Structure 1
Amino acid sequence: MMRNVRLVFLFLFCFYSMSYSQSQKEREQFKTKLKSNSSLFRTDINRAYLELNQLIKTSKLLKDSLAEMQLLERKSLYFYNKNLVDSLIISSEQLQKASERYENVYYEAMANVYIAETYSVNKFYNKAIVHLNNAYSILQKSQLKSKKIFYAKANVLSSFANVYLDKNEPRNAAKKILEEIKSGNEIQDKNEFAKFQYVNYSNISSIYSEYDLDSAFYFAKKSVEIKPSAISDDKSMITNFTVFGNYYMKKKNYEESVRNFHKALKVAQRTGIELNINDTYKSLQEIYRETGRKDSADYYENKIKQNDLQMLQSKYNSLQEVISKDEQEQNKKFTLSFFIWGLSIVIVLAGSVFFYLKLKKKKSIENNQNLHDLFNNLITLVQNNDPAFMFAFENAFPDFSDKLLKLNPDLQQSEIEFCALLKLKLTTKEIAKYTFIETRTVQNKKYRLRKKLEIPQSIDIYNWIDTI
């Protein structure tokens, strides 16, 4: 009997030893893959991104919370660098939930930074600043004095600068980066100090390029001069090359300007970073137009249009996410308020109704402003007689054509496009001007549409189209 017990014990010992050994092996393999992905992300974010979802899945299976948050932040950074704000808001919220679950102040602060970026892009500047203040407050309350906390605070200052840039306040943005540069005095290690200021000088050169190209050129040169040799060309060098290109373009040294712009594009292509790439395309288009190279100018014009359409779609999608998130937050606040003041239910209900109506009115104003911006972008495409107009319109209003065809399957594509112009509230004179036809022809088209769609004469055609 004793011998059997020993055999069972020996079997269990061997089994758990093998399981532990296998588990350790999996963790070591995962750590190696994680480190490899981190290195790849610095050189080719597109290839690195393809590995992220599987790595996140593995981190959850291994219950490695730090790795999970690190990968979620990397995912957010990818969407930020690719100008995909609709995906950014989703990934940053995932990071926020994970950081709160694991009580990690660094990643909670960074989640607020990325969420602030999505609000800022959608012109909710006050909400962006609220999230940045939250991030800074979280970091200030932390008792940790680690490098990560220091760099997180630096990221908050950079994000403040981005919000001011979105608000068209470059001088206030510059103040934030100068504050960040000053904070670098805390860094004792010379090589680390150089890496930190290399990025900051590049950032401030980008801001100065908005209103003072000489200062921008000075800081871009300073960034290049202190760039550690171990760092391969990255986002900061894209900025530096772009600033050099703009500087030489102003001096009408087009050869040097084009050379630097192409350097920026080469680094962007290698790394996969597309942040602000349209600015480079526009500058190259302008130079090639100025120097009579029409084919090259047309090439970059098409690149600009492709990017604009992608950004318009991404921005439109992110706006829906932002509005939805905002409504959820307001609902939570309402529920909490109702719980606290439950004993005074009559007063609460009266106050809540008033608050809801006020909020609804405010939200309606905000939504109308964003819809106004969307309409302006589409009208610009019409004014430029841009063939991409209907593609952009269908992205913004995906069910519009289908609804019209259900009412009358015999509608021609040209008639659907005419309805799209009415949806944008363009007047008869504006439609005539932008489509190069007579006002009388526009009126005849309206008349034929009324008959085909059976719109009663007593109903305004614009109001009817608006319901589609």
Structure 2
Amino acid sequence: MKNVRLAFLFILFFNSLIYSQSQKNHDEFKNKVKANSKLFTSDINKAYSELNSLIKASRILKDSLSEMQLLEKKCRYFYNKNLVDSLIISSEELHKASDKYKNVYYEAMANVYIAETYSVNKLYDKAIIHLNNAYSILKQDQSDSKKIFYAKANVLSSFANVYLDKGEPRNAAKKILEEIKSGKQIKEKSEFEEFQYLNYSNLSSIYAEYNLDSAFYFAKKSIEIRPTGISEEKSMISNFTVIGKYYKKRKEYEKSIINFHKALKISRRTGIELNINDTYKSLHEIYRETGRKDSADFYENKIKQNDLQMLQSKYNSLQEVMNKDEEEQNKKLTLNFFILGISILIVLAISVFFYVRLKKKKVVENNQNLHDLYQHLIALLQNNDPGFMFAFENAFPEFSDKLLKINPELQQSEIEFCALLKLKLTTKEIAKYTFIETRTVQNKKYRIRKKLEIPQSVDIYNWIDNI
């Protein structure tokens, strides 16, 4: 009898150890999901790289809420990157999971993302059907929770996106104004300001289609009420882009360039590329108008590369859309294949056209030596062009990070000075282009040597060139 009791106690102890370890694993996983959500606001690319392993872990742990949350983030990533082909696949994945777990919120969000893919492919009626589905699903929830409130706000924003795609910006503005009005339900001041900060930014983007004065007003208002502590993300990209367009229309080009580069800086840091081509096109037009050919050519190439990527993504998404319709409407099988075939021919023809042009351009670019690149950057510096550092970082994308790994306390001005050394500019040339004394340049070289611990016996130019 005593042995039986001991065995029973051992089993209890063993089970408690297993439960304790399982709970510990689950808590660690929850912390990882939470950290990933925070990372999404600062570096969307890095956050995305963690998603697949986290989704796999959520399924092993049978954590359905975390699984749907992570699948929704996957949709958000593809939406922000303009990758509609991947968005339709991930939104269908979210739709299946939400249906399996009977979750109203994520089922509605899946419909919202599916609607976005239809809208991009000019299937506006289907997009509106999915948005109406999303709103009907949310109305089933009687909890009056904040999550459902914000989901309904997302549906209104998506309605606005569809109207924008249809070329009906005034109807789009009405939807955002409806969303702004709904914010009266929010009682907490900081939460209310964050909600309206996003709405004013969205409204500003819509007004930019037909009333730049109103667009400028709401972009400024969005920035003014932006809560402290909130990460810079697509709303600030949108605000700076609208302000850049406003100054461009007034031919205040330097102010316009500054704001466009602020938008690009945030885009580069966060990885958000939604509507980035608008900014590239505006900068290309400004530089062409002001006779800065090198900068105009630079952004023309960026536009072509982005167009080619978008074209391929839309082509792939069109295939997914048609496959989905084929499953839903067997009676229209022949018509669907006909449309798909015509679409493929058109898209392939356009793709080949852009590919050939891009390939020719790349052959020319590959034949240019390092001297040509340096001369381009020096020309920007001579013209006191605000785009100099942006162009330099595009040419040497790892340069700043490598310097900061050596000394994290380096200031931005010191990194920019190192960029001049990378271009092998002499002391006199640096003094001339930056409007400072040669003695000041020599002092800066001395401080850089100390901060980066470059021995006196080593040539500073050779050392910087190896970064």
TM-score range relative to shorter protein: 0.7 to 0.9
1:132-189 CA-to-partner distances (Å, cap 9, x unmatched) read: 0100010112222100100000000111111111111111111111111111111111
Per the alignment, residue 46 of structure 1 pairs with: 45
Contact 1:378 1:389 in 2 (8 A): no
Per the alignment, residue 378 of structure 2 pairs with: none
Which consecutive residues of structure 2, in runs of 5 or more, have no partner in the other structure?
363-467
Aligned AA for 2:43? D
Aligned AA for 2:121? N
Contact 1:43 1:270 in 2 (8 A): yes
C-alpha distance 137-296 of structure 1, shift in aligned 2 (>3 A): same
Aligned AA for 2:8? F
Pairing of 1:208-219 with structure 2 (within 5 A) = 208-219=207-218
C-alpha distance 295-152 of structure 1, shift in aligned 2 (>3 A): same
Contact 2:304 2:358 in 1 (8 A): no
Post-superposition offset of 1:11 = 1.3
Greater than 2 Å deviation, 4+ residue runs:
359-382, 385-391
Per the alignment, residue 196 of structure 1 pairs with: 195
Per the alignment, residue 98 of structure 2 pairs with: 99
- TM-score (ref. length: structure 2): 0.75
Per the alignment, residue 363 of structure 1 pairs with: 336
Per the alignment, residue 146 of structure 1 pairs with: 145
Post-superposition offset of 1:70 = 0.3
CA distance in 2 between counterparts of 1:43 and 1:164 reads 29
CA distance in 2 between counterparts of 1:245 and 1:376 reads 35
Post-superposition offset of 1:233 = 1.3
Post-superposition offset of 1:370 = 3.7
Aligned AA for 1:374? V
Per the alignment, residue 29 of structure 2 pairs with: 30
Per the alignment, residue 220 of structure 2 pairs with: 221
Post-superposition offset of 1:244 = 0.4
Per the alignment, residue 183 of structure 1 pairs with: 182
Per the alignment, residue 386 of structure 1 pairs with: 357
Q: Give secondary structure in 2 for the equivalent of 1:109.
A: helix
Post-superposition offset of 1:371 = 4.6
Asked if 1:3 corresponds to 2:10, the answer is no
1:338-372 CA-to-partner distances (Å, cap 9, x unmatched) read: xxxxxxxxxxxxxxxxxx3xx35653674467457
Per the alignment, residue 168 of structure 2 pairs with: 169
Aligned AA for 1:198? Y
CA distance in 2 between counterparts of 1:372 and 1:297 reads 32
Aligned AA for 2:219? A
Per the alignment, residue 466 of structure 1 pairs with: none
C-alpha distance 390-248 of structure 1, shift in aligned 2 (>3 A): closer
Q: Give secondary structure in 2 for the equivalent of 1:268.
A: helix
Per the alignment, residue 62 of structure 1 pairs with: 61
Post-superposition offset of 1:330 = 1.7
C-alpha distance 315-139 of structure 1, shift in aligned 2 (>3 A): same
Per the alignment, residue 78 of structure 1 pairs with: 77
C-alpha distance 378-389 of structure 1, shift in aligned 2 (>3 A): farther
Q: How many residues align?
A: 362
Per the alignment, residue 374 of structure 1 pairs with: 347
- TM-score (ref. length: structure 1): 0.74
CA distance in 1 between counterparts of 2:350 and 2:164 reads 20
Q: Give secondary structure in 2 for the equivalent of 1:94.
A: helix
CA distance in 2 between counterparts of 1:381 and 1:68 reads 39
Aligned AA for 2:175? K
Contact 2:201 2:218 in 1 (8 A): yes
Q: Give secondary structure in 1 for the equivalent of 2:93.
A: helix
1:65-84 CA-to-partner distances (Å, cap 9, x unmatched) read: 11000000001000000011
Per the alignment, residue 207 of structure 1 pairs with: 206
Per the alignment, residue 444 of structure 1 pairs with: none
Contact 1:381 1:389 in 2 (8 A): no
Aligned AA for 2:35? S
CA distance in 1 between counterparts of 2:238 and 2:182 reads 22
Identity of aligned residues (%): 70
Post-superposition offset of 1:386 = 2.6
CA distance in 1 between counterparts of 2:21 and 2:283 reads 56
Pairing of 1:290-309 with structure 2 (within 5 A) = 290-309=289-308
Contact 2:315 2:344 in 1 (8 A): no
Post-superposition offset of 1:122 = 0.9
CA RMSD of aligned residues (A): 1.9
Which consecutive residues of structure 1, in runs of 5 or more, have no partner in the other structure?
332-355, 392-468
CA distance in 2 between counterparts of 1:227 and 1:142 reads 31
CA distance in 2 between counterparts of 1:378 and 1:389 reads 14
Aligned AA for 1:255? E
Aligned AA for 1:28? D
